[in-house]
A and B are shown apart, each in its own frame.
Chain A
Amino acid sequence: MARNIHIESELLDRCRTGDNEAFQALVHKLMKPAYFHALALTGNHDDAVDVSQEAFVKAWKSMSTFDTSRSFYPWYYTILKRLSLNMLRSRSRRKETAISFLPGWVEPRSADTPESRYEDRELAERVNRILNTLPVDDREILVLRDIEGYTYKEIAHILDIPDGTVMSRLYTARNRFRLRMKESGYEYA
């Protein structure tokens, strides 16, 4: 089930006036989607924590300019994504660990028997490996739709793009994923 990202306008109004407790409530409500979305973008736990918290700091500083008649999360997500891209860029500039070598950030959802547990783990590792090789935009939309389970409307809302673009981007991402899976030796039933 998709994580709730809705914030009541009353809470946003209180945040705008500099109410620290209101902002704490907002962070509590959004920390999980923020962290997991940052994880999808950066592919790394430490970076996801860093980027999602830094995005909250930036949002707090710019809160006075935020139009409370609009939704908070898409605005926050724009900051989150920009910081994530900066993080990825500086990581590649510093020639740090390539994303494909970072520990897994995708795991099996559930497993009933020891055999299926092993199979699911292997599959999750493969999914993880392939996701790491995809462009950020592909990874982002695949995670939002297939792993996090957001609807087209919710994805369009978060990414601030039309529904049609969500479908086009999903096709591009799934198609690239499909081809990379094939290249990795995966056999379709």
Chain B
Amino acid sequence: MNMHKPGNEDLQRLMMAVLDGEATPAQEDELNRHLNADAQLRREFDELKSIKHTTMKTRLTEPDSTLWTSYWMNTYTRIERGLGWILFSAGAILLIMFGAWELTKEWLTDPGLPVWVKTAGILLGAGTIILLVSVIREKLFLHKNERYKDIQR
């Protein structure tokens, strides 16, 4: 088919509509006029028709019927597990933060520990927080700028 022909896209759509039985009689007549005037177009149309008949002879492979009987249960398990993980993570984060706070409080107020050990501990804690924030920020940045994140089709 001549890809530079004016109104080419309309012709392609017309061919599809006729092939799929979605064209009006007037559109079918219009396409027939084009087909009669262009042997190459006629050949292309016939091949497209053949392709359609070929694919229509097939179907998507049926899975084992047990898939349907267990489908909801497996979906529900995913929902349940997702909720379980959220609750588990929230609880764990709160407990870890509380534990860290209590430990820090006790450690900093302990008169038996030398000042330099306390200072080192504070530096270690501050460094850990900075590293953690930096990693989270980097992950967020990468997520926002992920090239294919929004690809839908």
**Residues of A participating in the B interface, judged by any CB pair closer than 8 Å:** 24, 27-28, 31-32, 35-36, 39-40, 45, 49, 53-54, 56-57, 60-61, 78, 81-82, 85, 89, 104-109, 120, 123-124, 127-128, 136-137, 140, 142-143, 145-148, 151-152, 159, 164, 167-168, 170-171, 174-175, 177-178, 181, 188-189
Contact with A along B133-153 (1 / 0, CB 8 A): 000000000000000100111
- Quick one: closest A residue to B50, CB to CB? A188
Return chain A residues, CB-CB under 8 Å to B44. 175, 178
Q: Besides the contacts A35-B71, A175-B48, what 14 more A-B pairs have beta carbons closer than 8 Å?
A: A24-B76, A57-B78, A82-B152, A108-B58, A108-B59, A148-B60, A152-B22, A168-B9, A171-B13, A171-B15, A174-B16, A177-B55, A181-B54, A188-B50
Contact A124 B58 (CB under 8 A): yes
Contact A85 B152 (CB under 8 A): yes
Return chain A residues, CB-CB under 8 Å to B37. none
Contact B82 A127 (CB under 8 A): no
Contact B58 A107 (CB under 8 A): yes
Partner of B72, one of A24, A36, A105, A152: A24
Across the A-B interface, how many residue pairs have beta carbons closer than 8 Å? 126
Grouping DSSP codes into helix (H, G, I), strand (E, B) and loop, the A interface class, with mixed when no group exceeds half, is helix
Return chain A residues, CB-CB under 8 Å to B54. 123, 127, 181
Partner of B52, one of A89, A151, A174: A174
- Quick one: closest A residue to B62, CB to CB? A107
Q: A13 vs B63: C-alpha distance in the bound complex, in angstroms? A: 31
Q: A181 vs B53: C-alpha distance in the bound complex, in angstroms? A: 13
Grouping DSSP codes into helix (H, G, I), strand (E, B) and loop, the B interface class, with mixed when no group exceeds half, is helix
Chain B contacts with A in 45-89, Cβ cutoff 8 A: 46-48, 50-52, 54-63, 67-68, 71-72, 74-76, 78-79, 82
21 pairs, A vs B, C-beta closer than 8 Å? A24-B72, A31-B72, A36-B60, A53-B75, A57-B75, A57-B78, A81-B152, A89-B148, A106-B59, A106-B61, A107-B61, A109-B56, A109-B57, A109-B59, A123-B57, A140-B153, A145-B20, A147-B59, A168-B9, A168-B12, A178-B44
The 6 nearest A-B residue pairs measured at CB: A146-B55, A167-B13, A171-B12, A167-B16, A53-B75, A109-B59
Q: A24 vs B46: C-alpha distance in the bound complex, in angstroms? A: 46
Return chain A residues, CB-CB under 8 Å to B67. 35, 49
Contact B78 A27 (CB under 8 A): no
Given contacts A85-B152, A152-B22, contact A60 B16 (CB under 8 A): no
- Quick one: closest B residue to A104, CB to CB? B61
Return chain A residues, CB-CB under 8 Å to B55. 127, 142, 146-147, 177
Q: A136 vs B152: C-alpha distance in the bound complex, in angstroms? A: 11
Q: A127 vs B60: C-alpha distance in the bound complex, in angstroms? A: 11
Return chain A residues, CB-CB under 8 Å to B76. 24
Return chain B residues, CB-CB under 8 Å to A124. 57-58
Contact A106 B12 (CB under 8 A): no
Partner of B48, one of A152, A164, A174: A174
